[in-house]
Amino acid sequence: MATRTSFEESTQRMGSPDRQPMVSASTREASASLAHHVVIVGAGFAGLALAQALGSTPLRVTVIDRRNYHLFQALLYQVATAVLSPGEIAQPIRRIVGRHKNITVLLGEVDGINPERKEVSVNGEALTYDTLVLATGATHGYFGHSEWARFAPGLKTLEDARRIRAQILMAFEKAEMERDPAERERLMTFAIIGGGPTGVEMASAIAELARQALAQDFRHIDPTKARILLIEAAPRILGPFPKDLSANAERALKRLGVTLLRGKPVEDVNGRGVTVGGEFIPCSTVVWAAGVAASPAGQWLHAGTDRAGRAAVAPDLSVPGLDNVYVLGDVALATGEDGKPLPGLAQVAHQQGRYLGKALPARILRNETPPPFRFNNRGNLAVVGRNSAVVHWDSFKLKGFGAWLLWGIAHVYLLVGFHNRFLVTMRWLWTYLTFQRGARLIAEDVTRDLSKDTSTSRKTGAAANEPGASRGLDAPRVHG
Ligand SMILES: Cc1cc2nc3c(=O)[nH]c(=O)nc-3n(C[C@H](O)[C@H](O)[C@H](O)COP(=O)(O)OP(=O)(O)OC[C@H]3O[C@@H](n4cnc5c(N)ncnc54)[C@H](O)[C@@H]3O)c2cc1C
């Protein structure tokens, strides 16, 4: 474990009485709180909701994240398809929690924990905690085919979104200069792997980019002829939605000119294209939207994990066998009332953060035993291009324009910060009225040619997007 340094002292100083706000808590609560340091790793939906809830308590809180911003991942696909700019879906963590003087924010990467010594290692330095909350989220999972990652990037970070955007736009630029018709066709073929909400949203947004925003801009190619493939191993897309909504989404995709390849697993991906159901399809851009793997928090804890690496937690989100350690959000394996694992969704993470924001003060300050966490499902949404979406909530189903409007309102509401809400609303309005995309810059270096690389090993056995495997990213989108 790392050694303790002045860095630890500085977080103590920041939480010391002279830096504390005037609090209305009782003397007993205040003395308990000064002895008690809550460390939250990850300022995503779960960690941030928890931090905001603890901001009004007298506890000393440290939030650690390797990025200095909170990211609204649900709109990443719009950055990847040039609708929005990165800054419009991210917000500095300090700005969000800065008004709470009991919260210290550290920009750093946690690389391990020592539960016996109650320490986390941040950038190689030790920081002690009284209560530790891990909310480090998830990343892409390639189902044992990590060699596909460089050809089929997933969409999880702003860097991913910007790189995919550059790759898509660059494909059209290269096609404009390409003389070989077969290579031009390859450049203008885009494959999205995974028919969950992310895949559906990406496919429809690329189709609209090609058929509307870019339609008039080239002289040697016709962008409206671009081929967009949505590949799903299961018999239908949006699997967890009711069949009629999934059929409605399929029709909307077909209207946009998206080709659906259903019931066919991807067998290989390389720099020249994808192999699906035994057939090789040349394409220049492949986007992975088929699976997720939890961050390594479960390994740090040596706790029980599932196949995706999520750490098993008790009903109160604590880790069995460890003292004062909790796991939330995408990295937690928590079960619902039906005994099934809760999906990796923003509303689950957010509700867990808010729950622990009440449960921790009750436990630490008032010595109470809080009730277990209960997930309150707020409905599933997926958007399929302009004017079309599907919404499912218990027995309530909505599709078409009404669903699309609801999707838009929900997403603007869930964005953090008035500034971003305003900017995104204006941007959408402009895009809606003009059919244009405002963020079409190629600022990343995507000139490296992967097309000569056909070297991926053709592993047999478990297909990458076997039916039912596309959970996580591809689970229905739920907001809360
Ligand atoms: C493209 C995409 C679209 C999505 N769309 C929707 C949607 O429409 N609706 C919906 O409900 N859900 C959606 N989701 C899922 C949703 O975003 C996640 O369920 C949610 O973000 C999980 O929250 P979290 O707090 O667990 O993790 P995250 O929000 O991923 O946050 C984890 C945080 O931990 C930090 N971190 C990770 N490791 C470390 C470390 N070692 N040290 C320090 N910091 C670390 C990260 O920087 C990050 O800030 C989508 C996800 C993606 C990728």
476 Cα–ligand 1 center, Å: 15
Distance CA 50, CA 52 (A): 5
Residue in 88, 201, 208, 250 annotated catalytic: 201
- pLDDT digits over 219-234, tens only? 999 999 999 999 999 9
In whole angstroms, how far apart are CA 164 and each of 149, 270, 285, 386, 396? 13, 16, 8, 21, 35
pLDDT of residue 451: 66
| pLDDT number for residue 32 | 54
Q: Which of 48, 147, 133, 58 is nearest to 98 (CA)?
A: 48
Catalytic residue flag (residue 466): no
With beta carbons less than 8 A apart as the criterion, state whether 407 and 389 touch.
Answer: yes
Which residues does 150 contact at the CB level (< 8 Å), separation at least 6?
450
**How far apart are the C-alpha atoms of 218 and 70, rounded to whole Å?**
37
State residue 26's pLDDT score: 52
CA distances from 333 to 82, 247, 311 (A): 34, 31, 5
Residue 345 C-alpha to ligand 1 middle, in angstroms? 8
DSSP 77-146: HHHHTTSS-GGGGEEEHHHHHTT-TTEEEEE--EEEEETTTTEEEETTEEEE-SEEEE---EEE--TT-G
Nearest protein CA to atom 4 of ligand 1, as residue: 74
Which ligand 1 atom minimizes the distance to the CA of 295?
Answer: 38
Asked if 117 and 284 touch (Cβ cutoff 8 Å), the reply is no
CATH of segment(s) 3-139+293-366: 3.50.50.60
Candidate from 136, 347, 416 with most ligand 1 atoms within 8 A of CB, to mutate? 136
- In this prediction, residue 291 carries a pLDDT of 81
pLDDT in tens, 8-62: 554 554 444 344 433 344 545 555 555 799 999 999 999 999 999 999 899 999 9
- Spatial neighbors of 397 by CB under 8 A, at least 6 apart, are 242, 244, 245, 390, 391
Which residue has its alpha carbon closest to ligand 1 atom 9? 477
Q: Determine the distance separating the centroid of ligand 1 and the alpha carbon of 45, expressed in angstroms.
A: 7
Task: State the sign of the Cα–Cα–Cα–Cα dihedral 49, 331, 81, 445.
Answer: positive
Look up residue 323 and give its two tokens.
């003292």
- CA–centroid distance, 321 to ligand 1, in Å, is 26
∠ CA 247-248-250, rounded to 5°: 65
Cα(373)–Cα(98) distance, integer angstroms: 28
Instruction: Give the chain's residues under pLDDT 70.
Output: 1-34, 446-480
What is the residue type of 129?
Y
Q: How far, in Å, CA of 101 to CA of 285, rounded?
A: 46
Strand pairing class (37-41; 389-393) = unpaired
* pLDDT on residue 189: 98
**Cβ–Cβ contacts within 10 Å for residue 9, how many?**
10
**Cα–Cα distance measured from residue 316 to residue 59, given in angstroms and rounded to the nearest whole number:** 19
Distance between Cα 333 and ligand 1 center (Å): 15
Q: What is the pTM of this model?
A: 0.87
Which atom of ligand 1 approaches the CA of 137 most closely? Answer: 27
Closest C-alpha residue for ligand 1 atom 35? 42
Under a CB-based contact definition with an 8 Å cutoff, are residues 148 and 464 in contact?
yes
CA of 208 to the centre of ligand 1 (A): 26
The reported pLDDT for the residue numbered 450 is 64
The span from the CA of 360 to the CA of 369, in Å, is 9
Choose the residue to mutate in 73, 295, 347, 470 for probing ligand 1, maximizing ligand atoms within 8 Å of C-beta.
Answer: 73
The rounded distance, in Å, linking the Cα atoms of 376 and 363 is: 22
Nearest CA to ligand 1 atom 31: 44
Three-state secondary structure string covering 424-465: HHHHHHHHHHHCCCCCCCCCCCCCCCCCCCCCCCCCCCCCCC
Ligand 1 atom nearest to CA at 43: 49
Cβ atoms 128, 119 nearer than 8 A: yes
- Exposed/middle/buried for residue 272 (C-beta within 10 Å: 0-12, 13-18, 19+): middle
- Provide the residue type at 54 as one letter: L
Kindly list the distances between the CA atom of residue 241 and the CA atoms of 198, 245, 478, in Å, as whole numbers in the listed order: 14, 6, 11
What is the residue with the minimal CA distance to atom 27 of ligand 1? 137
Pairing assessment for the beta strands 227-232 and 258-262 based on DSSP bridges: parallel
C-alpha distance across the termini of the chain, in Å: 38
CA of residue 135 to ligand 1 center, whole Å: 9
- Pocket around ligand 1 at a 6 A CB cut-off: 41-47, 64-67, 73-74, 76-77, 109-110, 135-137, 155-156, 198, 295, 329-330, 344-347, 349, 473, 477-479
CB 274 within 8 A of CB 259: no
